[in-house]
Structure 1
Amino acid sequence: MTPAGKVFAKKRELDALRKKVRPGALDGLEHSQRIDITYTSNAIEGNTLTAGETALVLEKGITISGKPLKDHLEAVDHARALNWVLEIASQRDAPIIEMDIRNLHHLVVANSKSEIAGRYADRARYVNTDVGVHNFPAPTEVPALMQTFSQWLGAARNTPQTAFEAHRRFVGIHPFNDGNGRTARLLMNLVLARAGYPPVAIRPEDRPAYIAALEIDQRGGGHAAFDNLLFERLEQTLDLYLDAARQARDSSADATRIIPMRR
């Protein structure tokens, strides 16, 4: 079975299980996943908060001693952006438009870098790769590229393949001065959520393979490595939800089972 076939089959099983558990049965897992996605996405970009520290910042509003204020602000910004993504994900018939993407970026850096929030790049952007320096499209090219990208995304079907392609294409444009990686991963999760899939985390330990796969795609080497990595993470996420849903189903069955009375 193909990677796409496996995740589709597991999603179908999860959809069926969701109908057999009480409302809210998976809320605990979904809350934990939101914190994990914020932690992992920021960690990939160099944020020094640990998973536990990220949870304290988001759940308790605690300031972690010795950690930069920027790292705290990034955690709060990302969590709010993710909440917004999952709120609008239910609007499955409304196309994702360019203003949605700019608003998403605005939320991602609202407090940590407010001066660039939602504004397209006004300087050159570069990244060091294994084969040298890669430069992204010039700022003057960004508006037209984003218009074309948004038109494609607005017309595309909500599928995992579309989600992964949106991530790759967005990163290839790199339309903002900073925050592109976090915005790309949130945009990917917006498409996944609209397709009925749970959002996925790309973990810090995935970073070498993740960056290498993006670089291969940017060099024209294809997107197979990138898609395979993301299908693996999506399948693992579905396994988490399936396990939680099975436990919730079994608990519901136990609660409703009639216990014979002793005579």
Structure 2
Amino acid sequence: MTASASVSSKKRQLDALKRRVRPGALEGLEHSQRIDITYTSNAIEGNTLTAGETALVLEKGITISGKPLKDHLEAIDHARALSWVLEIASKDDHPIMEADIRNLHHLVVANSKPEIAGQYADSARYVNTNVGVFNFPAPVEIPGLMEVFCRWLSAAPSTPRTAFEAHRRFVAIHPFNDGNGRTARLLMNLVLARGGYPPVAIRPEDRPDYIAALEIDQSGGGHVAFDKLLFERLDQTLDIYLDAARQAQDRSAEGGKVIPIRS
């Protein structure tokens, strides 16, 4: 079974299980996953807070000795941006618009870099790759590219393939001076959440494969490697949610026989 088919099967199982557990049964897992997504997304970009330190900053408001203030602010910003993503995914079914993406970026850097929050890039952006320096579109091109991108996104279905393509296309435009990677991953999770999928973390140990897959796509080599990595991460995330839902179902059965959910 391909990763895509496995994801579809597990999504159906999870949907069925969710109808059979009490409301709020997965809140503990969802809380932990939100902290993990903030930790991992920031860590990929060089944030030095550990997973445990990120939890202390977000849950207790503790300042970690020896760690830069910027890293604390990035954790707070990302957590707020993720909360906004999950809130609008659950309550608002209007198409994702350009203003939504600019607001998302505003939240991502609201405290850490407020001077660029929600503002399109005004300088050239480059990235070093294994085949040399890659130059992103010039600032003058960004408004037109974002208009085309958002027109596509607003009409696209809320599926994993759309989520992964949105990530790739957004990164290729690189519309902001900074915070593009974090915004891209949050945008991906917004599309996933709207489709009823759990949000996905790309872990620091995934970074080499993740960056390499993006570079392959940007150099015209296609998106097979990128989609494969993200489908695998979504598949693993669904396993975590399925296990939690089954445990919640077992507890709510109160000794009754639990009928297994089959794909």
* TM-score of the aligned structures, taking structure 2 as reference length: 0.96
Distance 2:2 2:162 in 1: 16
Specify the alignment match of 2:261 in structure 1: none
- How many residue pairs were aligned? 257
Structure 2 unmatched ranges of 5 or more? 258-263
Do the aligned partners of 1:57 and 1:75 also contact (CA within 8 Å) in 2?
yes
Specify the alignment match of 1:181 in structure 2: 181
Do the aligned partners of 1:91 and 1:194 also contact (CA within 8 Å) in 2?
no
Specify the alignment match of 1:261 in structure 2: none
Runs (4+) of structure 1 moved beyond 6 Å? none
Equivalent residues in 2 for 1:57-136, closer than 5 Å? 57-91=57-91, 93-136=93-136
Specify the alignment match of 1:39 in structure 2: 39
Q: CA RMSD in A?
A: 1.0
Deviation at 1:2, TM superposition (A): 2.5
Deviation at 1:93, TM superposition (A): 3.2
Do the aligned partners of 1:92 and 1:194 also contact (CA within 8 Å) in 2?
no
Do the aligned partners of 1:41 and 1:182 also contact (CA within 8 Å) in 2?
yes
Confirm or deny that 1:223 pairs with 2:227: no
Matched AA of 2:240: L
Deviation at 1:3, TM superposition (A): 1.9
* TM-score of the aligned structures, taking structure 1 as reference length: 0.96
Deviation at 1:92, TM superposition (A): 5.7
Which protein shows a greater Rg?
A: 1
Specify the alignment match of 1:164 in structure 2: 164
Distance 2:93 2:73 in 1: 33
Do the aligned partners of 1:136 and 1:173 also contact (CA within 8 Å) in 2?
yes
Matched AA of 2:118: G
Specify the alignment match of 2:260 in structure 1: none
Q: Can you list the C-alpha shifts for 1:58-79, whole angstroms capped at 9, x where unaligned? A: 0000000000000000000000
SS where residue 149 of structure 1 aligns?
helix
Q: Can you list the C-alpha shifts for 1:47-94, whole angstroms capped at 9, x where unaligned? A: 000000000000000000000000000000000000000000024631
Structure 1 unmatched ranges of 5 or more? 258-263
Confirm or deny that 1:144 pairs with 2:148: no
Deviation at 1:5, TM superposition (A): 1.3
Matched AA of 1:88: I
Specify the alignment match of 1:11 in structure 2: 11
Specify the alignment match of 2:252 in structure 1: 252
Do the aligned partners of 1:159 and 1:195 also contact (CA within 8 Å) in 2?
yes
Distance 2:93 2:48 in 1: 38
Distance 1:248 1:255 in 2: 13
Distance 1:74 1:4 in 2: 32
Distance 2:106 2:220 in 1: 30
Distance 1:49 1:123 in 2: 29
Matched AA of 1:100: D
Deviates more, 1:89-98 or 1:219-228: 89-98
Of all paired residues, the percent bearing the same amino acid is 81
